[in-house]
Chains A and B, each alone.
Chain A
Amino acid sequence: MSTTSVDAHEHSNNHAGHGYGDNNQLYVHFHRDDYGSKFGMWLFLFTEVLLFGGLFILYYGYRIAYPHDYHNAAMELNIVMGAVNTLVLLTSSLTMVLSIVALRRKSIKTSLFYLIVTFGFGATFCVNKYFEWSAKIHHGIFPGSMELRETRPAGEVVFFGLYYLMTGLHTFHVIVGMVIMVFCFIFIRTGTINSDKYIVLENAGLYWHLVDLIWIFLFPLFYLLH
């Protein structure tokens, strides 16, 4: 890219192409559209919102149907665990932003440091979730378990089903976000992502903030409303 013309901030409909410039030299025009990349990322995020939105609507519907079962089931979830994970994700969102700020200010090392910290917070979240789920499964509470099928009312079965589905899907997103961070780390090291071309890191950040956003709603809905 370094030897070719780059239209960084253009919003026009130019397409990538090639032709012959002065002196009959072949030039290649690489089209770069940061705005388009970001817009595409937002469109993707909206499909994610609707994916989780459907599950939130399901949660809401059954909450109205079984208010008391929801209350009782929520009592069994560990608020401390949930609150710690909330703080972990909120802080990871901050470090992700700081990584982008650092990169734009050309401090590559600081940017990489914050990216590693963000990755670490993601890993911490997953470890917490592992212990949380293990404790529940140990108590016989998991989808299709004897405990749920034979001793619990329908509303609690639905609550825990949604708990596993929604937090599971969310944790899957956390893991995907961590994988994306590994790629960003490599690209920053190789200079593919730099203080001028940071849109990939910015989009990774957008994805990570969405993961944080979803947890902001999951936490009160599952842990606090009892």
Chain B
Amino acid sequence: MSGHNENTSVDKHEHVPSYGKNVMIWLALVALTALTVTVASVNLGNYTFFVAMLIASIKAMLVINIFMHIKYDDILMKSILIACGLVFTVIIIMYSFDLFNTYTG
């Protein structure tokens, strides 16, 4: 995840990805999968959901940044990804207010 900061220019074709780095990311993804399966067998009560989603989000970030290459893309590509994430987050948060009022209020 380091040493590629020089590739922030507009031309994405300057960054030629390497085999080794992608294999490392894959290993990290496999390790996180093992972790989430292990954690699932431990009773964390109400935190189970959040821990599972946290690990899934870390895995998603690795896939989006490295495999999907967004880390090396320009700000336009990044900003529309962020916009999409924000829309989804806002919907989830607003819906959560309604849900928790209905079922726990």
Contact = CB atoms under 8 A, between A and B. Distances in A.
Contacts of A100: 17
B88 A50 contact: yes
B72 to A, nearest CB: 12
A148 interface: no
A140 interface: no
Contact of A220 (B40, B88, B92): B40
Nearest to B91: A57
Contacts, number: 112
Given A65-B103, A94-B23, A220-B56, A104 B16 contact: yes
Contacts of B4: none
Contacts of A216: 56, 59-60, 63
Nearest to A105: B16
A91 interface: yes
Contacts of B60: 213, 216-217
Given A53-B88, A94-B22, A217 B33 contact: no
Contacts of A61: 95, 99
A79 B67 contact: no
Interface string A52-65: 01000100110011
A117 interface: no
Interface residues of B, number: 46
B30 A87 contact: yes
B98 to A, nearest CB: 9
A106 to B, nearest CB: 11
B34 to A, nearest CB: 8
Nearest to B83: A46
A46, A57, A202, most chain B CB atoms within 10 A = A46
A94 B55 contact: no
B80 interface: yes
Closest 8 CB pairs of A and B: A224-B40, A220-B52, A94-B26, A46-B84, A64-B99, A90-B29, A209-B68, A97-B22
20 contacts: A35-B12, A42-B81, A50-B87, A50-B88, A53-B91, A60-B95, A86-B33, A90-B30, A94-B22, A101-B18, A205-B67, A212-B67, A216-B59, A217-B56, A217-B60, A220-B36, A220-B40, A220-B55, A221-B52, A224-B40
Interface of B: 10-13, 16-19, 22-23, 25-26, 29-30, 33, 36-37, 40, 48-49, 52-53, 55-56, 59-60, 63-64, 67-69, 73, 76-77, 80-81, 84, 87-88, 91-92, 95, 99-100, 102-103
